Amino acid sequence: MADRGNRVVIDTQELSPEDMATRFSLKQGGMGWFLFKGSSVTTEEIPDYDPATFDKIKSPSQRLRAVLFVYWKEIRKGQGDFEGFYRAQVERIIEQYKKKLPT
């Protein structure tokens, strides 16, 4: 597409009038979730955050890296190389959990 987006075409089984009304109410665009599952989907399985903010939500690893950067900058006064500090801290965390595993 011209805006570098992608188009996805989906064929459905025949829908009830209520489902068709819901489907056409969503036609005007906007962000939303598309769930595909071999069986029915419960509302508990739908993410509870607004998909429009999806790109603003950090993954757990991004959050950890950001916290370690602030710690390195403020507590460690930016001493040394952050990348080396980050790798050492992540390795320390990994080793802590490896020690907790049954042998």
**pLDDT digit string, tens, across residues 18-72:** 888 877 777 666 666 666 666 777 777 766 766 667 667 788 898 999 999 999 9
Convert 23-62 to b/e letters by CB count within 10 Å (16 or more is b): eeeeeeeeeeeeeeeeeeeeeeeeeeeeeeeeeeeeeeee
pLDDT of residue 31: 67
Q: Which residue has the tokens 């989907």?
A: 41
Query: Which two three-digit tokens encode residue 87?
Result: 């790798």
- Predicted local confidence at residue 20, as pLDDT: 83
More confident residue, 88 or 25: 88
Q: Which residue has the higher pLDDT, 77 or 31?
A: 77
pLDDT at 5 over 70: yes
Structure token digits, residue 53 = 């903010």
